[in-house]
């Protein structure tokens, strides 16, 4: 089975979900969960140190501080010089953290009420055990000063469960935030590690499940995206097939001055194996051929919408917001074909309740691909509000419009009309450039034309789109300067590697 080749899609829990898992796992846990977490983090710390050295562990007033005391005890037992700074009062610690604090003292440890100066040669590792996943307010005063000092240390910086100052549910920096080079997450992934500011603050992410089967204890509302979710579609083509076996993908857009967007989408659809790719343009003056991709067939946009038998339409790349564009979006929503709405198609829907109602009552769900500003228009909100809770925004759009939605950005969120969500970890900042979204629309159109359902197509396209960007940047050593037209050939290569893997291919994910 193809799925055996791919890492499973791991569950993701917001804070309330993790608390429910912990409540079911804690009674009778031997050893206790805090002991397991601290031991796992200490093992990672020893790998990061790779030899003797001096370690600073900054412990806070709650259970995250308790994890830090356990880490400190294990590292001291391993022969390291360990200094613990404790920003709390022993009498006010929760029960488990109090026991960890007492065990640290019993094993010869001590605590300092302030961060000590670095030893000669500096710290070899600093550990952030100040505040865990429950933090919901900005760090101020003493704690903010500690974060600034820890961030200034030129050594590996390890966060326990989540960097202090990061919202575990949304990925927002609440204020001063620990800048980890490594983060070890316990039990399961949390959304804030994977989206918005989270990836910048977490560094390399390590998951330690500490012998807790989270999904056996409480259902997960979200999962990471891996090819395992759509592996059933990744079979080689039958020898007895022809272009008609893989559907017609139609791209609608290309108003005057924006024809390139439609062509980028068309080229991506061709690279992802649609049987035929047709591009319907609003610009009547455009030469109806793409010299670099002569396989593309061109029509006027109204002619293409009237053409029978087309399996999938992607409407929006370079569409504009004219009256003619509104007419095209209205007509596309009414068609029984698979449908992707992007860019100005979304802006037209956002300002027209009639289009929104028509979209919500389609016989099959459409696929919507907004960036945060487009999402804000669809929700009658602001970009800041959308970014403050990206998962909630994506789920709200999906529910209201009865559509599959990807809210694009760092850690793109995919949501379905039933309220389940996924987070994608492929992709990189070099993809923040014009035309990248048009390529995603083309990939989607091709997969839908090939007969994939909306959910599988969106999950695959989002992950593949980011993976292609990662491949191009790795091959060329890019931090910026990625061109949208470079993505489609890379996406083709990645997709075909899924279908016909090389022996060297192996699943890649945050290490455990």
Q: Determine whether the annotation assigns residue 62 to a binding site.
A: no
d(C-alpha 18, C-alpha 193), whole Å: 14
Question: Residue 220 CB: number of other CB atoms within 10 A?
Answer: 18
395, 399, 405, 406 alpha-carbon torsion, rounded to 10°: -10
**φ, ψ for residue 105 (rounded to 5)?**
-65, -40
Q: Determine whether the annotation assigns residue 410 to a binding site.
A: yes
> Quick one: which of 242, 183, 149 has its CA closest to 44?
183
Q: Residue 478: CB partners within 8 Å, gap ≥ 6?
A: 430, 472
Q: Determine whether the annotation assigns residue 308 to a binding site.
A: no
Report whether 275 contacts 248 (CB < 8 A). yes
Q: Determine whether the annotation assigns residue 380 to a binding site.
A: no
Q: Determine whether the annotation assigns residue 10 to a binding site.
A: no
d(C-alpha 352, C-alpha 300), whole Å: 24
Q: Determine whether the annotation assigns residue 213 to a binding site.
A: no
Helix (H, G, I), strand (E, B) or coil at 305: helix
Burial annotation 294-306 (CB, 10 A radius, 16+ → b, else e): eebbbbebeebbe
Identify the residue whose tokens are 């979710």.
229
d(C-alpha 164, C-alpha 176), whole Å: 8
Q: Determine whether the annotation assigns residue 105 to a binding site.
A: no
Q: Determine whether the annotation assigns residue 252 to a binding site.
A: no
Q: Determine whether the annotation assigns residue 318 to a binding site.
A: yes
d(C-alpha 196, C-alpha 159), whole Å: 18
Q: Determine whether the annotation assigns residue 203 to a binding site.
A: no
Q: Determine whether the annotation assigns residue 161 to a binding site.
A: yes
Q: Determine whether the annotation assigns residue 109 to a binding site.
A: no
Q: Determine whether the annotation assigns residue 185 to a binding site.
A: no
Q: Determine whether the annotation assigns residue 419 to a binding site.
A: no
**φ, ψ for residue 278 (rounded to 5)?**
-120, 135
d(C-alpha 385, C-alpha 388), whole Å: 5
Q: Determine whether the annotation assigns residue 437 to a binding site.
A: yes
Q: Determine whether the annotation assigns residue 134 to a binding site.
A: yes
Q: Determine whether the annotation assigns residue 200 to a binding site.
A: no
Q: Determine whether the annotation assigns residue 409 to a binding site.
A: yes
Report whether 124 contacts 49 (CB < 8 A). yes
Backbone conformation region of residue 50, classed left if phi is above 0, alpha if psi is from -120 to 50, else beta: left
Q: Determine whether the annotation assigns residue 63 to a binding site.
A: yes
Q: Determine whether the annotation assigns residue 112 to a binding site.
A: no
Separation in Å, CA 47 to CA 125, 158, 193, 285: 11, 12, 22, 63
d(C-alpha 393, C-alpha 468), whole Å: 26
Q: Determine whether the annotation assigns residue 98 to a binding site.
A: no
Q: How many Cα atoms sit within 13 Å of 111 on the Cβ side?
A: 25
Q: Determine whether the annotation assigns residue 155 to a binding site.
A: no
Q: Determine whether the annotation assigns residue 137 to a binding site.
A: yes
Report whether 195 contacts 413 (CB < 8 A). yes
Q: Determine whether the annotation assigns residue 244 to a binding site.
A: no
Angle ∠(62,64,69) on CA atoms, nearest 5: 95
Annotated binding residues for (6S)-NADPHX, written as ranges, equal 63-67, 132-138, 143, 161, 261, 318, 371, 438
Annotated binding residues, written as ranges, equal 63-67, 128, 132-138, 143, 161, 164, 261, 318, 371, 408-412, 437-438
Annotated binding residues for AMP, written as ranges, equal 408-412, 437
Annotated binding residues for K(+), written as ranges, equal 64, 128, 164
């Amino acid at each position: 089975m193809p799925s055996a080749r791919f890492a499973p899609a791991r569950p993701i829990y917001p804070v309330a979900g993790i608390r429910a898992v912990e409540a079911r796992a804690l009674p009778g846990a031997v050893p206790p969960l805090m002991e397991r977490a601290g031991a796992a983090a200490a093992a990672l710390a020893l790998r990061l140190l790779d030899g003797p050295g001096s370690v600073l562990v900054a412990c806070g007033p709650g259970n995250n501080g308790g994890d830090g005391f356990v880490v400190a005890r294990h590292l001291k037992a391993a022969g390291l010089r360990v200094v613990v700074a404790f920003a709390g009062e022993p009498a006010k610690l929760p029960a488990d953290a109090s026991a960890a604090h007492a065990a640290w003292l019993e094993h010869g440890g001590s605590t300092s009420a302030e961060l000590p100066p670095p030893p000669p040669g500096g710290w070899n590792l600093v550990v952030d055990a100040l505040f865990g996943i429950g933090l919901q307010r900005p760090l101020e005063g003493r704690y903010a000063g500690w974060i600034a000092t820890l961030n200034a240390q030129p050594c590996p910086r390890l966060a326990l469960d989540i960097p202090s100052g990061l919202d575990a549910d949304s990925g927002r920096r609440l204020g001063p935030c620990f800048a980890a080079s490594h983060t070890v997450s316990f039990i399961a992934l949390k959304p804030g590690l994977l989206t918005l500011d989270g990836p910048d603050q977490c560094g390399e992410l390590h998951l330690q499940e500490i012998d807790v089967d989270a999904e056996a204890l409480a259902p997960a509302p979200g999962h990471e995206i891996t090819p395992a979710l759509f592996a059933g579609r990744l079979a080689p083509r039958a020898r007895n097939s022809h272009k008609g076996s893989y559907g017609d993908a139609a791209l609608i857009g290309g108003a005057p001055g924006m024809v390139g967007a439609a062509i980028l989408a068309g080229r991506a659809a061709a690279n992802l194996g649609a049987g035929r790719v047709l591009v319907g343009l609003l610009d009547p003056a455009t030469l109806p051929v793409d010299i670099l991709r002569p396989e593309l067939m061109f029509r006027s946009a109204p002619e293409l919408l009237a053409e029978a038998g087309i399996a999938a339409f992607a409407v929006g790349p370079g569409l504009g917001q004219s009256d003619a564009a509104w007419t095209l979006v209205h007509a596309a929503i009414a068609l029984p074909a698979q449908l992707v709405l992007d860019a100005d198609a979304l802006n037209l829907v956002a300002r027209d309740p009639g289009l929104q109602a028509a979209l919500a009552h389609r016989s099959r769900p459409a696929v919507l691909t907004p960036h945060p500003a487009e999402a804000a228009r669809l929700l009658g909100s602001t970009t800041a509000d959308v970014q403050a809770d990206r998962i909630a925004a994506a789920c709200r759009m999906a529910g209201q419009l009865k559509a599959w939605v990807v809210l694009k950005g760092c850690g793109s969120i995919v949501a379905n009309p039933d309220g389940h969500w996924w987070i994608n970890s492929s992709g990189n900042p070099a993809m923040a450039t014009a035309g990248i979204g048009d390529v995603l629309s083309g990939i989607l159109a091709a997969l839908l034309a090939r007969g994939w359902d909306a959910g599988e197509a969106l999950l695959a396209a989002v992950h593949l789109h980011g993976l292609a960007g990662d491949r191009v940047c790795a091959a060329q050593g890019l931090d910026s300067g990625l061109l949208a037209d470079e993505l489609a050939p890379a996406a083709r290569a990645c997709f075909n590697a899924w279908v016909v893997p090389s022996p060297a291919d192996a699943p890649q994910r945050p290490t455990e």
